[in-house]
Amino acid sequence: MCARCPRVLGRSCCEVSEGEHLATLTHADVERVAAHMGLSPSRFSEVEWLTLEEALEYERRRPLYRGYFRQGPARLTLRRRSGACVFHDAREGCVLPEEVRPTACRLYPFELWPDGTWSLQVERLGGVEEARAEGGAGAGAVCLAVEEAEQLEDVLAAFGTSREALAALGERLRAEVRQHARGA
Ligand code: SF4
Ligand code: SF4
């Protein structure tokens, strides 16, 4: 699915323009990726400073990230190079094996909402043409799988996942955020 995105929509959600943001990382993500790639964290991650209000709003809208900013309004994120995540390959997509990828990347485009239900981080524009006209999938504005789906079950099937698998990944992220909040 994601390998088709640049060709069909013009770009994938791992490609970003100036001012757009990539996934939020926890210390656990950084350690896992650094160990697998043999890279120092500064080669692939960076800090984005938010205002206190932005940090509070971020946690309010994303229950899985409650406590993330306990040590301060600093968001860890992926570095970019030539308009894309440093791990993005134009032909292959993400070069990280799935089990090494940041948990936020593995969950995308699904999201646990404040009311406790799983839904999508992106709006459905109504079709592939509309999504292409909107500028493609950069920064997670739209998602090809969502545009091609008629219901949430179709999106789950497109990513070969299930509600149970999402719930398990969500619990993993919650635990990683708790650890992050302790500065560990
Ligand atoms: S780590 Fe992989 S999936 Fe996540 S933004 Fe980078 S290229 Fe995309
Ligand atoms: S926008 Fe959707 S289909 Fe495209 S690369 Fe991102 S997650 Fe995959």
Confidence of residue 140 (pLDDT cuts 50, 70, 90): low
Q: Which ligand is nearest to the CA of 161?
A: 2
- Helical ranges in the chain per DSSP H: 5-9, 27-37, 52-61, 103-107, 128-133, 144-148, 152-158, 163-181
Average pLDDT of the chain? 91
| Ligand 2 centroid, distance to 13 Cα (angstroms) | 6
Q: What ligand has the least distance to the C-alpha of 155?
A: 2
- pLDDT per position as a tens digit, 43-68: 999 999 999 999 999 999 999 999 99
Structure tokens at 1: 């699915």
Q: How far apart are alpha carbons 21 and 15 in whole angstroms?
A: 9
Query: What's this model's pTM, rounded to 2 decimal places?
Result: 0.92
Is pLDDT above 60 for 163? yes
